[in-house]
Amino acid sequence: MNTIAKVEEKLFQNRYKVDAGRPHITIKNPDICAHDCKTQQCSVCCPAGCYTTEGNGRVVLITDGCLECGTCRVICDDHRNVAWEYPRGGYGILFKFG
């Protein structure tokens, strides 16, 4: 029997210091995701599953589980619609092993 662990279960093992109310990544213009981006690859390729597509085609971003890899920003090369900064000093993912 193959077991496939969900990403949420895995992120539970990680240590974070969440900067509540100050996400370090934002979608610049949500309308572009909903209307102009057919692939919405961020919703599949983000290794922490931070991006989800809703029924109405809108993309919702919750950065709490972010691993700060940069995938979402680099992969959005057709629209450049991701504003990406590092979290404030001391916040975000804190790798225990790395």
Binding site for another protein (CB under 8 A): 2-7, 10-11, 13-14, 17, 39, 41, 44-45, 47-49, 67-71, 73-75, 77, 80, 84-90, 92-98
Contact 63, 24 (CB under 8 A): yes
For 94, counting Cβ atoms within 10 Å of its Cβ (0-12 exposed, 13-18 middle, 19+ buried), the class is exposed
The CB density around residue 19, as the number of other CB atoms within 10 Å, is 15
Name the minimum Å distance from CB 83 to another protein.
Answer: 11
Q: Quick one: 23 or 87, whose CB is closer to another protein?
A: 87
Q: Quick one: 6 or 55, whose CB is closer to another protein?
A: 6
Q: Which residues contact 56 (CB under 8 A, 6 or more apart)?
A: 34
Q: Quick one: 21 or 98, whose CB is closer to another protein?
A: 98
